[in-house]
Structure 1
Amino acid sequence: MSAMSRATTLRARLIPARGKTAPSTRPVSFFEFWPGWLFYAPVVLFWILKSIRYGSVTLPALANPRIAAGGICGESKNDIFDLAGPTARAWIADYAGMTTSGHNDGNDLALAQAAMAEAKLSYPVVAKPDMSCNGVGVRVVHDADELKSYLAAFPRATRLQLQSLVTMPGEAGIFYIRHPHEKTGRITSVTLKFPPTVTGDGKRSIRSLIAADSRLAAVSRLLLPKLGAKAERVPALGEAVRLVFVGNHCRGSTFKDGLNIVTPALTAQIDAIVQDVQDLYFSRIDLRYETLEDLQAGKNFKIIEFNGSGSEATNIWDPAMPLLTAYKTQFFHYGQSFKIGATIRAQGRKTIGLLGLFSLWRYQKRLMAAYPAND
């Protein structure tokens, strides 16, 4: 069974079939696509109140003191992975970091292939910016020609990451928190991610299949412009077509709250991994897994990324999530980042200043505007 078929089977197990759900089931939560300023206004107010209480706007940057700004913004994916010891490294998808040349006639492809050879990577690989968020600039490259095109469109003298393409069908985001004085950490949120996918019937086009699915129809404005002419293709009977690569709700993926799948075995394995990443206390871990049973047993998964203090518990984007619960989840997690930061500050460490954080944010935003289009 192919990875796509296994993913479709997993989706069917965990998401009820369209048209057979209870009347209260929504394809999209009523706040999922609110303007960012509107949804995050209470979160910003909460952050301000915590800043007043703790005497620092940027205190959460100390929640992961070895990461730039703690991962609020401007962090390096490669640098975070480089903090991992041998235990954690075994669970991370293989990767190689590189920096594009500072001039247009540099041989970036040769640099990339040398980095891949050293890391023992082979095509296909996932090319992604070293500094980015929300899947911006992420693309699967299948051969040297595609990698050359990606690098040609990438900003000059800028770092990126090449990572092995993990084909395990399941995707999840697991939030982990440990306070510096605690011997063990805990999982505080799990998001099971299901990318937008259609299954062909040999008759209808991808566009028609999207229109026939309540969730996909609701997010078609995100999908169809990206698909372009591909939307008119008629998939074969039983052919599963993944519409986007990046598993992000703002790109059409369905997120489901999965905290109920957490087991002692999964918690113990995640705790062992994170404790082998230097001074990582507050992180959402994005990973891919073979089966849900494997994930619960703490085996057969690969970590794609560690996110820092700027990450959120993405289970809030479950269409069934009440708005009040979503805000409680946000307040809990960001409140924990302030508490951890306060503990580390008491050890004598200093946090980044507000101007420094703003400069990092502006730099990241400028880079993100220059990255190649993502899959």
Structure 2
Amino acid sequence: MSKTETEQNPLSLFEFWPGSIFYTPIVLYWIAMGLKYRDLSIPTAANPRIETGGLCGESKSSILDMAGPIAQEAIAPYAVFASGMGALDRALAAMERKELSFPVVVKPDIGCNGTGVKLVRSREQLESVLPQFPNDVDLMVQELIDYPVEAGLFYIRHPDQPQGRITSVTYKEAPVLTGDGHSTIEELIMSDPRMGQVPQIYLPRLAGREKSVLAEGEVLPLVFAGNHCKGSVFRDGRADTTPELTARLDAIMKDVPDFYFGRVDVKVPSVEALQRGEGLRIIEINGVGSEAIHIWDRRTTLWEAYRAQFSHYHQTFLIGAANKARGWKTSGAFGMLHSWRKQRRLLASYPMND
């Protein structure tokens, strides 16, 4: 991609539309499908062992805990502890049980879009981070996988199919600033063709550093959590889907009981390793509420984005209906609402992500 091309098209048309606008057609599609199947909550049976199928309110660790030996080998080690008084001791004990050492990642066990995700480099930093969370919530501490490539892999398998498939591969890139010795951080952000259009995403998390000047050549990563709405840049990597990668991910996901639909967030040593299906380290497994995030590549058209969204949600209804016919229960509309309200309340109480 040339510099000229990037400057001409730094954002897609809809990349930062308000959710109330972008997702309205998707909500209407969901309602139409729900009326067709006479159950608005059919997709919650797509991953029937997970609360709401992973639509909202689910525990991240409960999904990872279901993994068998093949999947566990690929999952970055993690432990869960409760926030509140004594959380530091519980966190350190959890790290000791899993033989984790700093730096680590601390994040809410129930959450989405990277809210509350913290990169913690020392015991002292952990001590200062933990009080930022509300009392009596479960937090995860996880090994920091320091691989250079992060990707979201979308996986779908129907209950009657022996093999699953990958429908989306997306690379997540953290934006960085490079100092010139005289411009402030805020000036560098505002002069960037992409970041300058959405400074409200980056400036609030600088904690008063926006007027600081980076030395010439000094590099400052602006976002740690790999989430588009938090400022990471997403690149469509579907061209790197290979039979080897598909076979490896399929083997892993079939080792998570009755998991049929969702996105697996991984880190790998290189794009070539990803293509070979080698070196995958899983950070999270997300269910029905996850997206095929290649739609947030700046080159994706609005029609392509909606086509991908409708196609994927159509699959959740097909899979959910098949599982319901096999005897699994859906959460019901009120169950979905209860889980959504629980998640929304928790998200509002978490600190800003790194």
Q: Same fold (TM over 0.5)?
A: yes
Letter of the 1:100 partner, please give it.
Answer: S
Aligned to 1:58: 41
Paired with 2:307 and 2:329, the residues of 1 have a C-alpha distance of 29
Structure 1, residues 65-104: CA drift from partner, whole Å, max 9, x if none? Answer: 1111100001101101001111111111110111235xxx
Match of 1:198 among 171, 177, 186: 177
Aligned to 2:261: 282
> Where does structure 2 lack aligned partners over 5 or more consecutive residues?
none
Match of 1:371 among 345, 350, 354: 350
Letter of the 1:90 partner, please give it.
Answer: E
Aligned to 1:33: 16
Match of 2:322 among 318, 343, 346: 343
Aligned to 1:12: none
Match of 2:252 among 273, 288, 307: 273
**Residue 102 of structure 2 contacts residue 122 of structure 2 at CA under 8 Å; is this kept in 1?**
yes
> Where does structure 1 lack aligned partners over 5 or more consecutive residues?
1-15
Match of 2:238 among 245, 259, 265: 259
Offset of 1:22 from its aligned partner?
Answer: 7.2
| Coordinate RMSD, CA, aligned | 1.5
Structure 1, residues 8-41: CA drift from partner, whole Å, max 9, x if none? Answer: xxxxxxxx243x3178x51111111112111111
Paired with 2:27 and 2:255, the residues of 1 have a C-alpha distance of 32
**Structure 1 residue 112 corresponds to structure 2 residue 95:** no
Aligned to 1:137: 116
Matches within 5 A, 1:1-375: 16-18=1-3, 20-21=4-5, 26-101=9-84, 106-375=85-354
**Residue 174 of structure 2 contacts residue 224 of structure 2 at CA under 8 Å; is this kept in 1?**
yes
**Residue 180 of structure 2 contacts residue 214 of structure 2 at CA under 8 Å; is this kept in 1?**
yes
Question: What secondary structure is seen at the aligned counterpart in 1 of 2:75?
Answer: coil
Paired with 1:142 and 1:255, the residues of 2 have a C-alpha distance of 26
Question: What secondary structure is seen at the aligned counterpart in 2 of 1:300?
Answer: coil
**How many pairs align?**
354
Offset of 1:169 from its aligned partner?
Answer: 1.2
**Residue 48 of structure 2 contacts residue 329 of structure 2 at CA under 8 Å; is this kept in 1?**
no
Offset of 1:265 from its aligned partner?
Answer: 0.8
Aligned to 1:10: none
Paired with 1:69 and 1:202, the residues of 2 have a C-alpha distance of 51
**Residue 205 of structure 2 contacts residue 352 of structure 2 at CA under 8 Å; is this kept in 1?**
no
Paired with 1:314 and 1:90, the residues of 2 have a C-alpha distance of 25
Question: What TM-score, normalized by structure 1, do the two folds share?
Answer: 0.91
Aligned to 1:9: none
Aligned to 1:6: none
**Residue 15 of structure 2 contacts residue 296 of structure 2 at CA under 8 Å; is this kept in 1?**
yes
Question: What TM-score, normalized by structure 2, do the two folds share?
Answer: 0.96
Offset of 1:264 from its aligned partner?
Answer: 0.8
Paired with 2:135 and 2:182, the residues of 1 have a C-alpha distance of 46
Paired with 2:244 and 2:211, the residues of 1 have a C-alpha distance of 45
Letter of the 2:51 partner, please give it.
Answer: A
Structure 1, residues 149-171: CA drift from partner, whole Å, max 9, x if none? Answer: 22222222211100111111111
Same amino acid, percent of matched pairs: 49
Paired with 2:268 and 2:197, the residues of 1 have a C-alpha distance of 28
Paired with 1:226 and 1:158, the residues of 2 have a C-alpha distance of 23
Moved over 4 A (4+): none
Structure 1, residues 335-356: CA drift from partner, whole Å, max 9, x if none? Answer: 0011000110011111112112
Offset of 1:363 from its aligned partner?
Answer: 1.1
